[in-house]
Structure 1
Amino acid sequence: MNIEISFCLFTALLYKACIVFYVFTFYHVVPYYLFLFFLLLLCYIYTYQHKFSA
């Protein structure tokens, strides 16, 4: 699988997820700390994948 394509897909997915979570936190559907935890988890997964794909 091409790394460039997967990176673009991941970035688009992350962008959409950020928008959804921002709307949810803005309307207090999801607590703000859960959003921060979600971001940290995504960053961890991304660095973990990036380390092994390189």
Structure 2
Amino acid sequence: MSHSQLLLADASISITDIAIASGFSGSSAFSRVFRQETGKSPSEFRKILQAHI
């Protein structure tokens, strides 16, 4: 999950591509697990990262 958090910092990589690179079959399963682990959706997490750049 930490690798996917790093990838989310790059807005040019789609969440679907990050999900697949992280071993998920699609963005739905990835988003569900990501939210369970971090308390935020991947897009919410990305927005927070972008606000700090």
Give the TM-score category using the shorter length.
Answer: 0.3 to 0.5
The normalised TM-score by structure 2 is 0.36
The normalised TM-score by structure 1 is 0.36
In proportion to residue count, which structure has more helix? 1
Bigger-Rg structure (1/2): 1
